[in-house]
Amino acid sequence: MNTYTLTSQLKKHALSHGVDVIGITSTEPFIKKKEDAEIIIDPKKLLADAQSVIVTGFYMNERVDAPSIDKDNPRGRFTYGYSIRAFTPMENYYIGMIKEFLERRGYKVVSNPDYWIPDKIAAARAGIGKYGKNSVIITKEFGSYVMFVTLVTNAPLDYEEHDPETTACGQCELCITSCPTGAIYKPFKVRRETCITAWLWGTFIPIHLREKQENRIFGCGECVKVCPRNKKLTIRNEYPVKIDDVSSAPELLPLLTGDEEYFRKTMASFPMCAGMEAIRGNAIIALGNIGTDKAVDSLCATLKYATPQIRAYSAWTLGKIGGMKAKMALDSAFECEEDQGIKREMLSALNNWNAVA
């Protein structure tokens, strides 16, 4: 079978089995820029005889619940527009379907562990889309509501090599001006440490930025929400696989003290990749921004948590909520705390409580 026939058959099979976009690029090393350094990523480290990199994408513009601030029943929210519930099931489905097709023909296929090959660069190089100024790939058919799955194979496929640094944004900079934290500080430049989507994976959030999180517990999406390329897109209602059957606006209070079994039952599988502690910490900050005193009892417990970050966030949230019970818990915890950084968080919370009182 020649490369043209194999490539055509693969693309036809993929598109007829639920893949929304597909592109193929070479196994030439990818260059990932990080600050002033360049990181070289060679696909052949995943598969020594690799000949092609396959990039597939699925459209996931889903109506996500955006609960109003309700102090009696506080709920969190996820990334605007992206179906958090669909990501892992669709990723697994795409990997399995492409592997089955090529392995039946005698070829090897490996997935992309921990997203080592940068999906966005691979998608741009394969011609699936172009970069937006928020560093998100914009496709012609589905705007930027696409998540990518990258595979490496030794199948000799026809590939494309596009310039990954091109854009179709023109003069538009709505994504830059809409960023809640100013993380997109100029076109194609994002400060990861201040990007809400990035920090909700468990990065420690400094005090002066916590209010920007609002009631989010995973992801942001404000820069995608305002993009003109996404304005006329329709909501997706069906997928070729069963997606996670959980709420897109989970209750926050149970996340403070819930065990692994509770998290597995109530959280989508993709946010769980960030880990329970990341989600728990995000829920604590969200409750501080909502300001419900219904959280005080649970926060008194998490103020003694083994993880320092959880204790720090708990102190901040108790300071935001206020009340005598919160002050007594902070005073008591301060006397027992040995971590100087957390003691400073507690002092800041007590100062905030005094200012409110």
Domain range spanning residue 350?
292-357
- Residue 318: in which H helix or E strand, if any? helix 308-321
181-206: pLDDT as tens digits: 999 999 999 998 899 999 999 999 99
Measured between alpha carbons, how far is 105 from 347 in angstroms, rounded to an integer?
65
250/216 same-domain check: yes
What is the Cα 200 distance to its own chain's centre?
8
pLDDT of residue 352: 73
pLDDT of residue 71: 87
| Bridging pattern class, strands 77-78 and 30-34 | unpaired
162/297 same-domain check: no
pLDDT of residue 81: 78
pTM for the whole structure: 0.91
pLDDT of residue 197: 93
336/243 same-domain check: no
229/96 same-domain check: yes
The count of domains in the chain is 2
Confidence of residue 79 (pLDDT cuts 50, 70, 90): confident
107/36 same-domain check: yes
Asked if 77 and 63 count as a contact pair (C-beta separation under 8 A), the reply is: no
57/73 same-domain check: yes
Tell which of 236, 256, 290 closes a domain. Answer: 290
91-143: pLDDT as tens digits: 999 999 999 999 999 999 999 998 999 999 999 999 999 999 999 999 999 99
Asked if 152 and 109 count as a contact pair (C-beta separation under 8 A), the reply is: yes
Measured between alpha carbons, how far is 237 from 60 in angstroms, rounded to an integer?
9
pLDDT at residue 38 tops 60: yes
Q: What is the mean pLDDT of residues 256-265?
A: 95
pLDDT of residue 341: 92
58/199 same-domain check: yes
The fraction of the chain above a pLDDT of 70, given in percent, is 96
Mean predicted lDDT score pLDDT of the chain: 92
Q: What is the mean pLDDT of residues 17-40?
A: 91
Q: Which of 13-27, 73-87, 215-229, 239-253 has the lowest average pLDDT?
A: 73-87
Measured between alpha carbons, how far is 79 from 85 in angstroms, rounded to an integer?
11
220/351 same-domain check: no
pLDDT of residue 168: 80
Tell which of 269, 290, 311 closes a domain. Answer: 290
Tell which of 248, 269, 290 closes a domain. Answer: 290
Confidence of residue 179 (pLDDT cuts 50, 70, 90): very high
Q: What is the mean pLDDT of residues 265-291?
A: 95
Write the CATH number for 340: 1.25.10
264/339 same-domain check: no
